[in-house]
Structures are given as C-alpha cells and as structure tokens.
C-alpha cells in the first residue's frame, strides 16, 4: 500500500503554463512593436487590444454577474469625451489624461447601476441602452462639446509618430493587464467562487452568504472603467470623437458577438472571439452587408445550438484551460 | 371498456416508485395506494420526499410508466395537464395562484381545462362560494390582495373546479394561523363525501391523523409506516417520523 | 396654444408607437422574451408591402389583406424555429438570438432593398388633413391612432374574456401551476403584462418627444428617453402597475 507523502492544492496546468508564457511573449512583443512593426500593424494591434478589453468587460458582466448590458458604449463615449476635454481644453498631457478620463465612466456607472439594479434580465438590458442613448443625445446637445460635430485631438501633433506609438503600445499593454489580468485575479480570488456560484444560481448564492447586490455593483463599476479605458485609448488613436461614433450601439453588438462566438463565461472565450472577429473583419469586411448577414446568422446559430461558443467546443475536445480558475488536489505517492 | 371502480380497487397507486431531481435520487421504491373517496395523509419531516412524491405522481418529475397507476392503467410520466384532464388535480405547495388575475379568473382557468364542464361535474363556483363565503365577496379582486388563508381557499377551489377524482394537497396548512387551518380542513369531509379521494401531505402529525382514514409516514425517501390513522400509536409515528435512532422522543 | 398643439401631435405620434409596442408587449408578457428583431420584422413586412404594391394592383387597403397572412407566416416561422428554442428563465439566449437575427435581417434588407426611402403610392390619405378649431390634424395619424386603440382593446378583450387568453395569462404568471390546472404549456408558452400599459407608455413617449421638439429641435428624442428613465426611477414596476 502506498503512502501519501505530500498533498497540495494546485491551479496551474500544463496548458496554463504554456498560455502564461505565450501571454508574456505577446506582451513583450506588443510593447516592442514600435521598433519592429509598421505603423499600420500598430494601429491594428491597438484596435485588437481595445476589442479584447471591451469584450472581456462585457463577458464579466453578462457571463458572471448576470448583468446583460447593451449600453456599454455609454462608458466608451464618456471616457473618450473626458479625455478630449482634459487634453484639448484643459491642457493636460494626453497620456496622463487617459487614466484621469476613467473618472467619467466610474461616475456615470454609479447612478446608472442604482437606477437599473431593480430591473431584471431583459428590462435591465433595455435600461442600459436607454441610458447610453440619453447620454449620447445629451452630449449631442452640448455646445461646449461641439454638439453633434464632435471634437478633434489637435494636441497630439506635438508628439512625433514614434513617441505616440511607444505611448500607445504601453497603454495597450496596461489595458490588457488590467482587463484580462484583473478578471483573472478576480476569478481566482475568494470572490471568484462567489461569482461562479452567482452565475450558476443567484438565489442559491445569496442564501449561501454571497452579497450578490454588492458584488454586482462592484463589477458593474469595474467593467465601466475597464470599457472606458479601452474607449479612451481607441479614440485617442482615432484623434477624433463624435457622439455618433463614441456612443455607437455597434460597440454593444460587437461585444455580444465576440463573447458569444468565443464563449461566454470564460476569459479564453473573449480572447478567441476578439481574434475571430478582428480577422474576419479584416478578411471579409469589404463584403459589407453580406458579411454582416453571416455574422448575424452565426450569432443566432450559436445562441440556438452552441451556447458555449468556440471555447465551449474546444473544451469538449479536452480540458486545457489557459486561465484555470478551479483548484485541483495534487496527491504525491 | 373501463370497469367501474368500487370497494377495494385503488383509484391511484404507485409501485416501487423511484425518482428525484436529475442525478439526485430522493425516492426509493414507494408503494402507495388510495381508494375512491378515501382520505389518506402522507406525513414526514422536511426533506423526507413528500413533495417529490406528489410531483412524481403528477407528472412534474420523470418516472417510469409502470410506477404510477390511475384507475388501473399505467400513467407514470403523463404530463400534468393530461393528468388534470383524466381527473387528478393538485393544490401545490405555496398555493401558486395566477397573480395579476382575479379570484374568479383563477377559477375560470381551471373550468376552461376541467375534465367535465362546470354544470356536469360535482363542483361549481356557486358551491365553492357557499363553502368559502369570503371568496364570493372577493371574486372580482386580484388574488394578491387576499390573505394567506383566502389564497389557500382559492387554490383549493381552483383544483376542485378541475372536477378531480383524486385531489393531491401539498402542505395546505403551511404558514397559516390555527383558526384558518381549522376552517380549511373543515371542508375535507365534504370533498371526500363528494366521492373525491384526497391525498394530504402534511408536516403536522396531529392534523394529518385527525383528517385522514389512513396514513403513510415517510423518512428519507422511503415509507416507514402505514396503517389506519386511528390504530397507529403516537410512539410508532415518532419512530417512523424521525427514524430508529430517534425512536424515543 | 402651441403646447396644446404639441400634445395633440404627441398623442398621434404615440398612436404609431403603440402599434409598435403592442407586439413587443405581448411577446414580452407571454414569453418573457425581448425580441430585439421585432422592429426589423416590422420593417421587413413594410418593405414587402411596398414591393408588392408595385406588382399587385389591389390598392393600399387590399395590400393589408395580402400582408397580414404573410405576417402570420413570418411570425409562425420565427416562433417555431427560433423563439421556442430560447424561451427560458435565462434572458440571455433569447436576447442574443434575436440580436443576431436583427443584424442579419437589417443587412439582408439593405442588400435586397438598398438604403433608399421607399413609400407606397400616394392615395391622398397620407397628406390629407382636417381642421379642428385652430388645429390642423393629419388624417393618416388619426387612422393610425384609431387602429392602435382598436388593436389594444381587441387584444385586451381576448386576454380577458377568452379561454385562450386566460390560459395565456395563467401560464405567464406561473407556467407550472398552469400545467397543474390543466393548461397545456406547449400550446401556450408562457401571460401578460399590461396591454394598456404599453398603450399609455407609447402615448407618454409620443407626447414627451413632441413637447421636447417644441422646446428645442435637438431635444425631442432625448425627452422621450428621459421620461423613460424617470419612470424607471420612480415607478420601476411600470406606469400601470398596481401598488401592492
């Protein structure tokens, strides 16, 4: 009979070690891009990072907290506008203005949550859309923000292209670290178990002592800030923001598409979905509406037949998580 | 041709019934029967499997066809709405009234789907209003405006308007004041006098014994005791109710 | 006086919204599904009607007779192949499925009909108006308002007075309890919020937008949204909900 020599709890798996190493390489690759990649490629990378971050924040809301929002563009827009106002009208250094601009989504998220928290499911979703539209229409009527015509970030011309690119890749790396890394940290923390319990059954979770309301509130605000962070970077790279673009419901559509196709309720899902969406957009975007018909039908089919998305299908082939959140008992004999 | 059922032929019975929720087995071979017009109570502690048993019989949980027989024919797994049209009705735990609808509309839903038309069956709205006069007064009010006891009266009326031959009652005394419980249990004899067999699921042993002809006691998904309600001693019930290790109470 | 005119225009606008909202309210009330593609299906049917008008010489009223069976067929297909599969306690699948359908439909319509504005051949109804005292009122909006009123009343009567309607409301309140009372849950899926609530909500929205428009042309739609948020903040159970 063998004796148990050692027992320990582990979460790392071979697949996760590979994923972590790859992740580190990707981050280093990203930060060094200005020295090896073309400007066009850097613009692509910025866009992709923003998609991943926005989708991951939506995933946290819908996939874990059970808050289906179709109004995340509100936070993208206000954060972008805040950045433009700080940098252009108040003369704040634009790169410093990015973290400062996150105050706007945080402030907007609090009353939004308290207004909508009593609503369940579909009502909540409609409420978020109305809030986003109201903010868009409100900003379209403010002359100080140049109403419907929007703002231009002229102060960026004081930096050379190389300086801007270096700043952008660093911001993007921070964006990924805070959104992906932050979600991973959250899911591995003691709140992670509560979140998983909440996703599976909010009532049971509440009866087990999980403060569902409080946790939802924190996640809603955190997701607003994370989404706003991506919004600030995105519109800083665009150099222009208008109410129609900044508050485009397309942002919500994109998040839904990415997370559903990739796989809801998994960090891996948001990343896979964002990659699929990004490259599909590059390859087929030129087909315009025909491409969007396929995209729409794909979303429909996934909702009908494969709720776990691509990541769910991959999981069926074998359990190889990139971001393992479950604990595993290791017994050494 | 359906034979007329009288005397010792059960109207409803279960045979080695097993069941539960998904992977969780809650019932382990339940043999149960009830005769036409009989009042049988099913007692047991919380979690003994009483509600699971009723749901399994009523087609709300999956069971094998042969495990449940109604009027001699196997009916296990028949969906609830089909059971209703064959003559089995249920007063669910927690009343489960249709909120947003009036007292009378709640009754009308049952009448719409009953085994027999209102005039042809045993039960009519008028007869129930005579039985529960307060409901006549409140017939046009939404059910959420009623007290707990009045809501229970609506739930019982709704089930009776399905014109059942067997009525399954799941904890109809739960959460009600003693005075209200007496009022509600007072109608049990009238229901059984009308020829309807009644299964009373109860936690209150005294209440269950007084109201029934026979009783079954359940513990951890098994029948631990059965017999005529008057013949069984309190000690036997205590042993069956709490299990052997707790026999001395 | 111009405020009174704004209210009249708002009520007429509300009539149009009420027709839109009615289908939505029914679907949400019965199945607890928010059909994001509802508006797209409506536009699809309108576009089919416009295209048919060029082919069939039946006139605008005849067109309604043709389009209603098509609408029934589209609704049946939608119900059978999509909505029935996503009904459930979790609102996400239905939201996502109808969202995907909405994107697909919008772009399909763009492919088939292009983005140009289309209209039915003018039979005079659209531009006709009449005068009540000092106010000019369009004939078409009045017809729309009357239709909305009749449809809402008709639906309300069906839900209130028919066996089908009662079963529907029972199933919406508690599907399992409805099954226990003999309602076949497969035939009826799930009841009913307030039909008149949707009608009143549409009126409030229309009036808010018309009044907002009078204050500042840029504020019209925003006013509607603000009223919605105000209702959420003060009466989240809805305008018509009864206090417990």
List, for residues A54-90, the tens digit of each pLDDT value: 999 999 998 888 888 989 999 999 999 999 999 999 9
Mean pLDDT within A297-308: 86
Mutate to test the interface with C, among B84, B106, B113, B155 (most CBs of C within 10 A): B113
Residue C177: inside a domain:
no
Q: Mark the ranges of chain B whose per-residue pLDDT is less than 70.
A: 1-7, 244-249
| Structural domain containing residue B32 | 12-97+165-243
Q: Which of C95, C121, C147 is the last residue of a domain?
A: C121
Number of independent structural domains in chain B: 1
Q: Is A76 helix (H, G, I), strand (E, B) or coil?
A: helix
Q: Indicate if C71 and C93 belong to the same structural domain.
A: yes
Report residues of chain C scoring pLDDT below 50.
Answer: 188-193, 242-244
Here the tokens at position A82 are 């805040």
What CATH number has the domain bearing residue B192?
3.40.50.300
| Beta partners for residue A331, in sequence order | A7
CB contact under 8 A, C225 and A62: no
What ranges in chain C are assigned the alpha helix state H?
Answer: 2-31, 38-55, 59-78, 84-86, 91-113, 139-161, 163-173, 175-180, 195-215, 220-234
Residue B105 counted as domain residue: no
Look up the domain containing C231 and give its range. Answer: 1-29+123-161+194-244
The reply to whether residue A115 touches residue C85, judged by beta carbons under 8 angstroms, is: no
**What are the chain B neighbours of C170 within 8 Å (beta carbons)?**
98, 101, 106, 109
In this structure, the answer to whether residues C102 and C129 fall within a common structural domain is no
Q: C211 and C106, same structural domain? A: no
Flag whether B128 is in a domain. no
Is the minimum CB–CB distance between A92 and chain C shorter than 8 Å?
no
Beta bridge partners of B68: B14
**Do C78 and C98 belong to one domain?**
yes
B with A: touching (≥3 Cβ pairs within 8 Å): no
Is the minimum CB–CB distance between C28 and chain A shorter than 8 Å?
Answer: yes
How much is the pLDDT for C189? 41
pLDDT tens digits along C86-144: 876 677 788 888 888 988 998 899 888 887 777 777 667 777 788 877 778 888 888 88
Pairing type for strands B88-91 and B166-170 reads parallel
CATH class of A6-332: mainly alpha
At residue C112's C-alpha, the angle toward residues C106 and C116, to 5°, is 80
Q: Is B43 within 8 Å of B216 (Cβ atoms)?
A: yes
pLDDT score, position B245? 56
Interface residue A115 vs chain C (CB under 8 A): yes
Residue C182 lies in a domain: no
Q: Is residue C8 part of a domain?
A: yes
* DSSP result, A134-182: HHHHHHHT-GGGTGGG-EE-GGGGGS-HHHHHHHHHHHHHHHHIIIIIH
Domain count, chain C: 2
Choose between A99 and C200: higher pLDDT. Answer: A99
User: Residue A299 — φ and ψ, nearest 5°?
Assistant: -60, -45
- How confident is the model at residue C93, as a pLDDT? 82
Direct distance between the N- and C-terminal alpha carbons of chain C, in angstroms, rounded to an integer: 39
Is the domain of C127 the same as that of C237? yes
- Nearest-Cα residue of chain C relative to residue A61: C92
Residue B132: partners with Cβ closer than 8 Å, 6 or more residues away: B150, B153, B157, B187
Q: Are B141 and B170 in contact (CB under 8 A)?
A: no
Contact: C100, A293; criterion CB under 8 Å: no
In a domain, C61, yes or no: yes
Residue A249 above 70 pLDDT?
yes
Residue C60 domain-assigned (yes or no): yes
Please report residues of B whose CB lies closer than 8 A to that of C181.
84, 89, 109-110, 113, 158-159, 162
**Structural domain includes residue B156:** no
Q: Which residues of B touch C177 (CB under 8 A)?
A: 92, 96-98
Whether residues C53 and C135 share a domain: the answer is no
Q: Note whether ipTM > 0.85 here.
A: no
Both C44 and C6 in one domain: the answer is: no
Q: Is C233 on the interface with A (CB under 8 A)?
A: yes
Contacts of C79 in chain A (CB under 8 A): none
Chains that touch A (3 or more CB pairs under 8 A): C
Are the C-beta atoms of B18 and B29 separated by less than 8 Å? yes
Among candidates A322, A140, A306, A134, which has minimal Cα distance to C208? A134
H or E segment and range at residue A6: strand A6-10
pLDDT at C177: 87
Determine the average pLDDT of the residues in A177-200.
83
**Helices A267-284, A309-317: inter-axial angle, 10-degree rounding:** 120
- Could B98 and C170 be called an inter-chain contact, meaning their C-beta atoms sit closer than 8 Å? yes
Least confident of A10-14, A172-176, B215-219, C93-97: A10-14
- What does the alpha-carbon distance between residue C67 and residue C101 come to, in Å, rounded to a whole number? 21
Is B81–C179 a contact, with Cβ atoms under 8 angstroms apart? yes
pTM of the model: 0.73
- Asked, for residue C168, whether it belongs to a domain, the answer is no
A118: chain C residues, CB-CB within 8 Å = 236
Rounded to whole angstroms, how far apart are CA atoms C193 and C186?
A: 20
């Amino acid at each position: 009979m063998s004796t148990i020599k050692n027992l320990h709890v582990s979460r790392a798996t071979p697949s996760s070690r590979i994923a972590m190493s790859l992740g580190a390489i990707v981050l280093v690759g990203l930060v060094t891009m200005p020295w090896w990649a073309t400007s066009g490629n850097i613009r692509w990378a910025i866009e992709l990072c923003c998609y991943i971050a926005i989708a991951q924040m939506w995933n946290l809301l819908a996939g874990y907290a059970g808050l289906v929002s179709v109004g995340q563009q509100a936070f993208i827009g206000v954060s972008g506008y805040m950045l433009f106002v700080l940098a252009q009208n108040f003369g704040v250094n634009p790169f410093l203005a990015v973290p400062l601009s996150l105050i706007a989504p945080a402030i907007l998220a609090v009353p939004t949550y308290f207004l909508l928290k009593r609503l369940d499911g579909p009502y909540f979703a409609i409420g978020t859309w109305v809030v986003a539209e109201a903010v868009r229409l409100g900003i379209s009527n403010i002359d100080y923000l140049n109403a419907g015509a929007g703002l231009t970030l002229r102060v960026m011309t004081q930096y050379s292209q190389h300086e801007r690119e270096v700043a952008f890749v660093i911001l993007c790396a921070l964006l990924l670290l805070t959104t992906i890394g932050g979600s991973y940290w959250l899911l591995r923390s003691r709140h992670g178990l509560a979140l998983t319990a909440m996703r599976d059954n909010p009532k049971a979770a509440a009866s087990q002592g999980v403060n569902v309301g409080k946790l939802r509130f924190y996640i809603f605000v955190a997701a607003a800030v994370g989404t706003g962070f991506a919004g600030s970077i995105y519109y800083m790279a665009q150099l222009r923001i208008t109410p129609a673009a900044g508050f485009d419901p397309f942002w919500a559509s994109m998040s839904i598409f990415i997370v559903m196709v990739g796989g809801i309720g998994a960090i891996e899902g948001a990343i896979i979905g964002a990659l699929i969406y990004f490259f599909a957009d590059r390859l087929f975007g030129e087909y315009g509406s025909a491409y969007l018909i396929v995209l729409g039908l794909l979303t429909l089919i996934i909702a009908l037949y494969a709720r776990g998305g691509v990541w769910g299908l991959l999981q069926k082939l074998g359990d190889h998580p990139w971001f393992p959140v479950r604990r595993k008992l290791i017994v050494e004999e | 041709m359906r034979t007329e059922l009288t005397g010792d032929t059960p109207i409803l019975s279960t045979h080695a019934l097993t069941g539960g929720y998904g992977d969780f087995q809650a019932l382990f071979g339940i043999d149960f029967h009830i005769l036409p017009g009989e009042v049988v109570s099913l007692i047991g502690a919380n979690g003994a499997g009483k509600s699971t048993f009723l749901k399994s019989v009523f087609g709300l949980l999956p069971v094998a066809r042969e495990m449940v027989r109604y009027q001699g024919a196997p009916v296990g797994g028949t969906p609830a709405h089909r059971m209703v049209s064959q003559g089995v009705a249920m007063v669910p735990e927690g009343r489960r009234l249709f909120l947003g609808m009036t007292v009378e509309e709640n009754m009308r839903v049952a009448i719409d789907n009953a085994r027999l038309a209102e005039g042809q069956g045993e039960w009519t709205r008028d007869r129930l209003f005579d039985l529960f006069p307060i409901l006549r007064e409140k017939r046009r009010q939404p059910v959420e405006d009623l007290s707990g006891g009045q809501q229970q009266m609506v739930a019982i009326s709704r089930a009776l308007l399905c014109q059942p031959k067997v009525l399954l009652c799941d904890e109809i005394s739960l959460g009600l004041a003693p005075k209200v419980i007496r009022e509600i249990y007072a109608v049990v004899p009238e229901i059984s006098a009308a020829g309807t067999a009644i299964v009373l699921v109860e936690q209150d042993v005294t209440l269950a014994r007084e109201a029934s002809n026979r009783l079954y006691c359940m513990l951890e998904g098994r029948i631990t005791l059965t017999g005529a309600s008057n013949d069984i001693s309190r000690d036997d019930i205590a042993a069956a109710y709490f299990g052997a290790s707790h026999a001395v109470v | 006086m111009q405020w009174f005119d704004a209210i009249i225009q708002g009520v007429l606008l509300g009539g149009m919204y009420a027709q839109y909202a009615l289908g939505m309210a029914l679907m949400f009330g019965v199945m607890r599904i928010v059909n994001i593609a509802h508006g797209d299906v409506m536009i699809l049917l309108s576009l089919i009607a416009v295209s048919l008008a060029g082919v069939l010489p039946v006139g605008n009223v005849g067109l309604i007779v043709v389009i209603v069976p098509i609408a029934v067929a589209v609704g049946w297909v939608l119900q059978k192949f999509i909505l029935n599969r996503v009904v459930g306690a979790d609102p996400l699948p239905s939201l996502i499925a109808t969202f995907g359908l909405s994107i697909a439909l919008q772009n399909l319509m763009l492919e088939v009909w292009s983005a140009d504005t289309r209209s039915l051949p003018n039979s005079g109804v659209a531009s006709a108006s009449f005068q009540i005292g000092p106010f000019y009122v369009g004939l078409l909006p009045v017809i729309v308002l009357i239709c909305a009123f009749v449809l809402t009343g008709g639906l309300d009567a069906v839900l209130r007075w028919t066996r089908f309607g009662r079963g529907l409301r029972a199933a919406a309140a508690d599907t399992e309890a409805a099954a226990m009372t003999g309602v076949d849950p497969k035939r009826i899926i799930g009841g009913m919020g307030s039909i008149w609530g949707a009608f009143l909500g549409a009126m409030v929205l229309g009036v808010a937008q018309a009044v907002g428009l009078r204050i500042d042309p840029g504020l019209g739609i925003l006013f509607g949204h603000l009223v919605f948020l105000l209702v959420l903040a003060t009466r989240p159970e809805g305008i018509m909900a009864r206090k417990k």
